Structure 1
């Protein structure tokens, strides 16, 4: 009896150990492959970005995102923060339907990618293209400053890479790379490098946690940018247009008054001592009923006759 009992216990323990090993092995493969779903219904396998810095102080950004949908979903959402120092323009998504909506309360542009009539499962690639047109600020540094990876991405990113192409003959003197939560002042994840021969700044990171991004700052000499838009010029233009509008309204009003001048009505008083009947005759050289009727009231006013009203 004791032997049979011990055999059963040994069998149960062996099965338990095998199940534990299988579970640990499965979880290890699951997490190591990046298939971590944080409640979004998908995991992010890779996030590769190229930034082409133009001489007019604009950045052409191309984001290539590879995700694995563990649940049927219509697509993904990419939110790009608004900024006082730049304008987001020329937004497009390669090969997929998308809608753009400005979320002013959240201070973001929302790009919703996908087809509301279709769902996606498995691995899917997305390519987002947009331009950040920077304003050149007066009496302020106009350095290259750009968020190369979003700090509000909802899932972990298994692998990410960034290539920032500087303008030809750019006088590179130094840069600072930040990574981590929003407004992080440290490089908490990944590695930054500068290729002098190709004039490219590169960043790579593995297993970047959700809600963590990367930001690049490159020192730029004063007066480097060519034909960059200025927000001050935009403000000045707005004021000038408003002033010109007021001037035009004033001119139009003055011209309108000249075309339609206000004419004062002609009034006159009759000569003293001349009764109304005679005045009527002098006006049209005729005596009519109105002239005769006016004489009754004139004589009554002088007291020669009296006028009484009789009620019917």
Structure 2
């Protein structure tokens, strides 16, 4: 083929590709936008960690397990580790497989950075089988892992087989900064999908291990397993179920190692330059690129605008006063959208709606404030007591929560309240708020997930607001990310494609910008896709009416003998609405009036603290302080891949560097 022929062939191919992008801008985005938000949010896991090759996707037979897993970790002076796994694998009864695979984590987050990650380079992979099983090796990328596939596509194995897998991970030893260095390693990742029995591990290094620790269970578990320091340190882990992992920690003197700087990467992409085209082909390609760049954001805005109009607006009961719901025999018309209803003052919260649920239905988010207000509400209802720590047993500026026995006729807790209450007192009947730091985040996520489930179960939303938002925002991120990649290639390495197009600007910028704008439009409008049902709108109107009461209530409207009870019952709602201080001022005035008449307003029983003339204001201020400190405590996580496994809150199952999981294929 001549050079001109090659150029025309390349031009035709790229023109077809960009023609597809042009069509995607006008058709694919609207079609994708019409897809169910739940499908986009939930997604489909392709090639899961523990799939069985030849069976149903992602399935693992009940009989499949590791009969034994013995792991030896050898720390080198350069900060790398050599890992040897001696595995006896039991394949599903009556089935033939080709072998096993090991997922080795090679990427991990670095502190709180969103632009860098820590990399453990995998090398020196070797596999043998004392039982004679096939040991062909294929190493593949698998997200944050490298997958070592062991076995032969043309041979099968059944029953049990023994494998010895050896590999090196670079830069895994952590410099803790206090004169020590640590190996913090996940012997079994919490992504593990099959039971693991007879799990043992050893860690050795240039010098003997001075301290050793071991944790096992689901992600975030702090349950300890057997660990003893020495040369080597040894660990024994109880049998693990699927989705349970085990992490080991070994501490050495820092001087035993050389440079322990982590391998930090940003994931930059490089590429070779593209091939030049003829002027005619370059102009055609440039015009197609310009058209695609203009149509993609237009298509995204049109499709998302229509979706928001049709599905992203709240439903309402037509013909009913805002806040009212139809009777049993009524069949009111449900309409979508319309003007914001005018709500009347409501003197009580919506019936049976807890403060956390009120906060979720108002802003469509189960926020951290809704969770901390739930804790205050549980205290008011008699399930716990909140007090400042004045004993000196815990850190300064701390709070102590004490489990109490609720009244006999108290309403049962909802699932998210039950999980929150049980998790707070998992370690005992008295807990310092500071002791939850760096370990409560998984519970917080689970509680918020249950809160979203409850608003759906109560019929206030048809789907989880979080799932709807995250699905559309993920789509927008993908489109914007495609724009960034397009800009890199068409403006950078492949910029020569448009050199002879005779256009005033590089069309690559237009296409890249159009994709980025289209992605941002999808993300922005996707946040508005969560819509309340008519029932949810009625609850919202009731909540807004009660908010108006809290903002306008006067002291002379409340009886002295009811002051303490009314203040306490409505305080968690005032926290959610952000009017706790104003609510307290009403009761300060009421208490002063009562004192002048010779009456005493008692302190709330759920609050353990000093009570004075400014008691209500002090409690409201204290609860604001408690909520702020609790919010920071609940969302905190240990510094990823570098924090000490011995420090307070730093050690738990799944928190180490490296680590493996596996399955059969």
TM-score scaled to structure 1, two decimals? 0.53
Whole-angstrom CA distance in 1 between matches of 2:202 and 2:174: 26
Of the three residues 117, 120, 126, the one matched with 1:86 is 120
* CA shift for structure 1 position 136: 7.2
Deviation above 6 Å: which 4+ runs of structure 1? 135-139
Tell me which residue corresponds to 1:97: 136
- Flag the structure with larger Rg: 1
Whole-angstrom CA distance in 2 between matches of 1:136 and 1:42: 33
Of the three residues 63, 66, 74, the one matched with 2:88 is 66
Map Cα deviations across residues 180-209 of structure 1 (whole Å, 9 max, x no partner). Answer: 22343332xx42222x3xx22111134221
* CA shift for structure 1 position 55: 1.6
Change (3 A) 1:41 1:75: farther
* Equivalences, count: 189
Change (3 A) 1:53 1:137: closer
Whole-angstrom CA distance in 2 between matches of 1:43 and 1:73: 13
Counterpart contact for 2:172–2:183, Cα < 8 Å: no
SS in 2 for 1:120: coil
Pair 1:191-2:226 in alignment:
yes
Of the three residues 46, 60, 67, the one matched with 1:45 is 67
* CA shift for structure 1 position 72: 0.8
Structure 1 gap segments, 5+ residues each = 1-36, 236-312
Of the three residues 140, 153, 168, the one matched with 1:116 is 153
Whole-angstrom CA distance in 1 between matches of 2:204 and 2:173: 20
Q: Which has the higher helix share?
A: 2
Whole-angstrom CA distance in 2 between matches of 1:63 and 1:81: 15
* CA shift for structure 1 position 118: 1.5
Pair 1:77-2:87 in alignment:
no
Of the three residues 242, 247, 271, the one matched with 1:215 is 247
Whole-angstrom CA distance in 2 between matches of 1:162 and 1:91: 19
Tell me which residue corresponds to 1:150: 189
Pair 1:181-2:181 in alignment:
no
* CA shift for structure 1 position 148: 2.0
Q: CA RMSD in A?
A: 2.9
* CA shift for structure 1 position 145: 1.6
Change (3 A) 1:133 1:213: same
Whole-angstrom CA distance in 1 between matches of 2:145 and 2:125: 14
Change (3 A) 1:118 1:205: same
Change (3 A) 1:161 1:111: same
Of the three residues 69, 72, 76, the one matched with 1:54 is 76
Whole-angstrom CA distance in 2 between matches of 1:98 and 1:191: 33
Change (3 A) 1:99 1:175: same
Map Cα deviations across residues 240-282 of structure 1 (whole Å, 9 max, x no partner). Answer: xxxxxxxxxxxxxxxxxxxxxxxxxxxxxxxxxxxxxxxxxxx
* CA shift for structure 1 position 227: 4.8
Change (3 A) 1:223 1:127: same
* CA shift for structure 1 position 135: 6.2
Select between 60-69 and 87-96 the one with higher mean Cα deviation: 87-96
Of the three residues 245, 257, 268, the one matched with 1:225 is 257
Counterpart contact for 1:135–1:229, Cα < 8 Å: no
TM-score scaled to structure 2, two decimals? 0.26
